[in-house]
Structure 1
Amino acid sequence: MQDTMTSAVTIERCSPRDPEATALITASHAFLLSKYPPEFSFALSIDDLCVPSIRFWTARIGGAARGCVALADKGDYGELKSMYVDPAARGAGIGALLVSTVIGAARDAGLPMLRLETGDDLYDAHRLYRRSGFVDCGPFGDYVEGPHSVFMERPV
């Protein structure tokens, strides 16, 4: 069944202000705030996602948005941000397709490295990122070591 669902997934560039994209981002923020104190949540707001240095995609099944991801161009590396898949659509390969989309976009942009920060107990996400070639690293950019963060990177 997963192969059938995966083949029905489409990935498209989208504005974070698209109502379905906004709903996914809002759900992601609520999920993160249910797990981590606000000072340890590094989710970008809708406005922060709508700047020229960030590209945003949604994953759709049957036309309905079921996942999202963003690529922030930091100049000498890219950062994978705002990765989220609707819990009802998990297991359909959406996460892998979104990560692959960001890797390809980073490659096309000439970014040599792709980095991310994720929650320390988001084990499914850790497995997905490791399957996609990410390895643990230390804090980067403006991040500092904290009790709830895992930092990862992979060459593009």
Structure 2
Amino acid sequence: MNIKIVRTNAKHKDFINLIKKLDAYLKITDQEEHDFYNQFNAIDVIKHVVIAYYKEQAIGCGAIKYFNEDAIEVKRMYVSPEARGKGFAQKILLDLENWAKELGYKNCILETGKRQVEAVRFYHKCNYKVIPNYGQYANMENSVCFQKEL
């Protein structure tokens, strides 16, 4: 499968377009908690973005954001519905993990919603371990947080 991974920043038009699709999906799955979660998803603070292209089309993305000296947070992971189940998300996540290592981080952490069943299954498959909910997610019943040692 011929996939092209491009490293860029949050100002890239393809990233912005993919994020619009992601946000529309999350608005449905997060239900009444969407506004709470959405406040932590601003892209203006994201400096490291990966976009996946297949047949010249942007089909997925992901980003990493500073969390602390040892950990970087995985944010804004998305693959278009028609491209799911083909390994694109794993390639995106692997590139983000490699980028985090290059930047000197030891861990990747992330939060996803329990209602995003496919995402929870995906992170388990990629060897992420469930950790106690951190930061703003500490008291959120719908959140599940993960960590992977790089």
- Normalising by the residue count of structure 2, what TM-score does the alignment of the two structures yield? 0.89
Among 17, 21, 45, which residue is 2:42 paired with? Answer: 45
Kept in 2: contact 1:138–1:145 (CA 8 A): no
Quick one: distance in 2 between partners of 1:79 and 1:15? 15
Amino acid at match of 1:130: H
Kept in 2: contact 1:21–1:58 (CA 8 A): yes
Kept in 2: contact 1:139–1:145 (CA 8 A): yes
Kept in 1: contact 2:137–2:143 (CA 8 A): no
Cα deviation for residue 56 of structure 1 reads: 0.4
- Between Structure 1 and Structure 2, how many residues are aligned? 146
Quick one: distance in 2 between partners of 1:103 and 1:55? 11
Among 49, 56, 69, which residue is 2:62 paired with? Answer: 69
Quick one: distance in 1 between partners of 2:16 and 2:112? 20
**Please, which runs of 5 or more residues in structure 2 have no aligned partner?**
none
Amino acid at match of 1:62: K
**Please, which runs of 5 or more residues in structure 1 have no aligned partner?**
1-6
Give CA-to-partner distance per residue, 1:7-62, whole Å, 9 cap, x none: 2111111233322221100111111111212113455223233xxxx300100001
Structure 1 vs Structure 2 CA RMSD: 1.6
- SS of the counterpart of 2:11? coil
List aligned pairs for 1:30-109, cutoff 5 A.
Answer: 30-36=24-30, 37=33, 38-41=35-38, 43-49=40-46, 54-74=47-67, 75-109=69-103
Give CA-to-partner distance per residue, 1:100-151, whole Å, 9 cap, x none: 1111111112211110000112121112211211010012244322121110
Off by >3 Å, runs of 4+ in structure 1 = 40-43
Quick one: distance in 2 between partners of 1:111 and 1:43? 21
**1:145 paired to 2:135:** no
- Normalising by the residue count of structure 1, what TM-score does the alignment of the two structures yield? 0.86
Kept in 1: contact 2:29–2:115 (CA 8 A): no
Cα deviation for residue 68 of structure 1 reads: 0.4
Amino acid at match of 2:50: W
Among 106, 109, 123, which residue is 1:129 paired with? Answer: 123
In structure 2, do the counterparts of structure 1 residues 42 and 154 end up closer, same or farther at CA, with 3 Å as the change threshold?
Answer: farther
Q: Partner of 1:3 in structure 2? A: none
State the percentage of identical aligned residues: 25
Quick one: distance in 1 between partners of 2:97 and 2:103? 10
Amino acid at match of 1:45: A
